Amino acid sequence: MTRTITLPRPYQNYVYAYPHKTAYRPLAPRPALTDLWAGQSRRALSLYLHIPFCEVRCGFCNLFTRVGAPEGLTGRYLDALTRQAEAVRAALGDAETPRFATAAIGGGTPTFLEADELTRLCDIAEDIMGADLRTIPLSVEASPSTATADRLAVLAERGTTRLSLGVQSFVEREARAAVRPQRRADVEAALGRIRDTAIPVLNIDLIYGIDGQTAATWRESLDAALAWRPEEIYLYPLYVRPLTGLGRHADPVVAERVWDEERLRRYAEGRDHLLAEGYEQVSMRMFRRVDAPPQGPDDYACQTDGMIGLGCGARSYTSSTHYSFDYAVAPREVRAIIDTYVTTTDFTHAGYGRVIDGDEPERRYLLQSLLQAEGFAVADYRLRFGHEPHDSFAAELDTLAERGWLADPRSGHLRLTAEGLAYSDAIGPEFFSPAVRAAMAAYEHR
């Protein structure tokens, strides 16, 4: 008798980093940065600078960010970021000169900062941290309304190699439905300004699953993006998160199977269209033009040990501890955390985070690698951990094989099928450890 296989809901948790910040807790006692970085390699560090400000908060956003900034707040924020950078650089010491292999500026919206403030931010990265931004891949996020010529000129001159523009939809009605009011003409003008710079890689973010979106309007957005021949396009499923604008007003029915099926259809339509237009699929979300210039490590490869995050929404990774500042989504809580950050004078200790022990490094490596289209070689896993992935995760991998989501489960290379990639946001949570699951479930959203 044939056994019926019940598939999980496809959209559960976007695993952009593991463990998620909702699994972080106050570290007691608070470890000194000098201790956290003792013995850690400094040969190929990643630098991440976080700017927690936006001109508007999109209805789907659950990032750590606030709308607007009272007079002087961005300056005080950069003052605090300077103090933090000085503390981190001192903790790294000079026994082994820190060398940065990649850098990124995210948010929020980094281009919320004025041009002279962006200059100051780059100076912090270079003069204090020692990152040579003009010789390493540097990715910066922007929004159409803040991608002004003077800001873009600063970013281009300081070595930005990738500019990611959050468009989400070229259809104005859909943008309003996602609580991201914008005019298409303004979006197109911003894209024109970006293409006028010397920044070699343009990424455009699009979202599917917006209320009222159809196959035709989805194709309209895709074609509008393709008209600019971006080197990268990210396709994001819409999530309705706790405490986000849409989450407060959503009908519970929106999370049911009908919406799942609609998003899966939009995903497949977007994927197939981009593949036909000369793009290769890197992950469920990321598509790269086949002739695009190489940009160094992909996003997932940057989420590795040796990441230094500066700013109150950034996280840092050593081989044994992930750490950050407090985390929230609700506007009042976010403002309070930012206010605390800008008045902090002592950045020599880590306040929040999670110790990475037991089999957590294996889970993290497997999640980062398996959720990429190319998958990973079993031999590489064995070299790193001393045993096969099936030795630790037989049940999880057998389940994927049973669903038909592993391309060739008996080969020396583990890779998801096309359907498996489509279900990446369901596969990821299945590899969370019980301890991380419990911590995330106990987290009080605020």
CB 104 within 8 A of CB 302: yes
Torsion sign, CA atoms 14, 20, 21, 25: positive
**Which residues are CB-contacts of 288 (< 8 A; sequence separation ≥ 6)?**
231, 232, 279, 280, 282
Q: Which tens digit of pLDDT belongs to each residue from 305-347?
A: 799 999 998 999 999 999 999 888 778 888 899 999 999 999 9
For the residues 162-174, what does the mean pLDDT come to? 95
pTM metric for this prediction: 0.93
Tokens of 385: 């951990």
Closest C-alpha among 189, 43, 50 to residue 112: 50
pLDDT of the residue at 298: 57
Residue 351 near residue 323 (C-beta atoms within 8 A): yes
**Angle 360-370/378-385 helices, nearest 10 degrees?**
160
For residue 107, the model assigns a pLDDT of 87
Q: What is the pLDDT of residues 20-60, one digit of tens each?
A: 989 999 999 999 999 999 999 999 999 999 999 877 665 55
pLDDT in the model for residue 327: 84
Mean pLDDT of 281-308: 79
Question: In this predicted model, what pLDDT tens digit does every residue of 382-431 receive, in sequence order?
Answer: 999 999 999 999 999 999 999 999 998 888 999 999 999 999 999 999 99
> Mind listing the pLDDT tens digit for each residue in 353-370?
999 999 999 999 999 999
> Tens digit of pLDDT for each residue in 227-253?
999 999 999 998 874 434 445 455 565
Tell me the DSSP string of 238-281: ----TTSHHHHH--GGGGSHHHHHHHHHHHHHHHHHHHHTTEEE
